[in-house]
Amino acid sequence: MKIVLPKYLAVASKIIPSIHPDKIEKYDNIIFNRGPIKDEKCFNVAWGSRALGAKGVGLETGFFWAAGHVDTLGLYANSSLNTPAGLRAIEQLNASISAREIVNESPVNSKYRQTKNDIDWRGVVLALQNPGDRSIHSSVATEDYFDFVQMACRYYGKHLFLKAHPWNSGPILDRLKAISDKYGCCIAKTNHSILKHCRFVLTFNSSFAVDCFIRDVPVVQYAPGYFFQTGAVKYTGFEFTDEPGDTIEQGRKVANFLVWKYCINLLMDTETWVGFLISLSESNELFPVEDKYCYANNLPWSTNN
């Protein structure tokens, strides 16, 4: 079976340095193409949501440092994590090492490097996203996201701290700050110290929820996205709340599932990548990441750095 990779990966050397035509040209069954080839003899690996009608998986960055994740159904709200079968798989997993233990060993204990700015906050934390994120656009338009930020600031007022995304800068950060200032909220780039004493974290549909799961911080999720049907967050369906609910234990379970069954190391060497891609093409599982390729057993800081 030919394995078809998107052309984008050929230029994404900063994201996946080992997946490049020059490095895998000796593998005759792997080819690059501009779009999915809808042929039953081809297995398509999409960067982002995969095309309907094509056999394959979607691949996306996410959740942990140098990590990616693989989904056989879709991404964001349509991910396999949000299905009844996904929930059963999460409940059945018996992790020998927790996601928290793994992340604590990492040189970067988040998907993105965090500022050194320490802040102690006793109210609600809004984890801001980059307004152009595909996760936001999977649910609403960019302007709808700014409306969400304004409504959150109006609702929580001085009890809300806006944790700026590492990519928030320039005009975007200025606009977010203007909204925050209008309602007497606080906004800044800060590290995970902001989570230590906060009441809960509010997200639109940010994967920052995972940083909360491994720190036993409750999460309220406003819009559909990853985790909204898993019980690891309190999903409000475009409403605000003062009660985060009891989600911490389920958050731990979901985080463990991510490192053992859903995520991979994007910095794998070429040979490991090829073996992984072949294993995907031969699998019929809802969660096809084999143990030897999962993030927990193939950590970026212990294998390639």
Give the tens place of pLDDT for each residue, 161-187: 999 998 889 999 999 999 999 999 999
Do residues 168 and 132 make contact, with C-beta atoms less than 8 angstroms apart? no
Q: Is 55 helix (H, G, I), strand (E, B) or coil?
A: coil
Q: What is the pLDDT of residue 304?
A: 53
Distances (CA, A) of 237 to 194, 220, 229: 25, 10, 11
**pLDDT, tens digit, 9 for 90 and up, residues 205-234:** 999 999 999 999 999 999 999 999 999 999
Task: Sheet containing 234-235: give its strands across.
Answer: 186-188, 160-163, 124-127, 200-203, 219-221, 234-235
Q: Across residues 77-95, what is the average pLDDT?
A: 97
Give the C-alpha separation, 43 to 45, whole Å.
7
The angle subtended at Cα 236 by Cα 235 and Cα 238, nearest 5°, is 125
* 3 state DSSP class of 219: strand
Look up residue 92 and give its two tokens: 């059945």
Tell me if residue 129 falls in helix, strand or coil.
coil
| Fold assignment, 112-250 | Rossmann fold (3.40.50)
Percent of the chain with pLDDT over 90: 71
Is the pLDDT at 250 greater than 80? The verdict is yes
Q: Which residues pair with 294 in a beta bridge?
A: 264
Exposure on the CB side of residue 110, measured as CA atoms within 13 A:
17
Closest C-alpha to 210, from 195, 224, 199: 195
**pLDDT tens-digit readout, 129-165:** 999 999 999 999 999 999 999 999 999 999 999 999 9
Mean local confidence (pLDDT), 253-271: 95
CA distance 235 to 221: 5
Q: Which residues have a Cβ under 8 Å from the Cβ of 284 and sit 6 or more positions away?
A: none
Q: So where are the chain's domains?
A: 2-91+259-303, 112-250
What is the model's pTM? Answer: 0.93
Predicted local distance difference test score (pLDDT) of residue 113: 77
Average pLDDT along the chain? 91
Identify the helix (H) or strand (E) that includes residue 152: helix 142-156
pLDDT band (50, 70, 90) for residue 107? confident
